[in-house]
Amino acid sequence: EISPDPAVGAYVNFGLWLAVDDPGPVSATAAVGPVWETITATYSASTWDMGTGGEPFSCDGLGTPIVDTDTAEEGPCGFTYENPSAPRFTGGGLAYEASVTGTWTISWVDYTGATGSLDRLSRVTEFDYRVREIQTVGVAD
């Protein structure tokens, strides 16, 4: 979830609010007779690459969905583009190639009561994000 939505895009120097919809814990149990084991994955962090060539940045947990739609400031898990995605005078149409990598923490419990954890699991979602620039012309009085 990005505000403004990727389908709409954003403007230079207007802050974005970044968040991932809460998938909740995801569990699976396998059993053979009285022997069973349950594995649970919990979403733990997001790493955002906004497609500008800068360093990706991480947000703990899900990030922060926008709470104040009247603000131009970026959210606590946010980003502000400093340049449009298409150079001026090209007719536009170009977008930043951005991505978010979701990291999951994996734990397990078995029929004996033993518990443990597995290596973290990451999944990448890519998206295009168009950023436009608003320019004004001042007129002397």
- Give the model's pLDDT for residue 1: 66
- Rounded to the nearest 10°, the torsion over CA 132, 73, 79, 13 is 30
Length of the chain: 141
Distance CA 6, CA 79 (A): 14
- Give the model's pLDDT for residue 67: 79
Distance CA 59, CA 48 (A): 8
Distance CA 128, CA 95 (A): 6
**Bridge pairing between strands 10-11 and 131-132:** parallel
| pLDDT per residue rounded down to tens, the chain (141 residues) | 677 788 888 889 988 889 988 899 999 999 999 999 999 999 999 999 999 999 999 998 888 888 777 777 888 899 999 999 876 555 555 889 999 999 999 999 999 999 999 999 999 999 999 998 887 777 777
Beta bridge partners of 101: 47, 124
Distance CA 47, CA 77 (A): 10
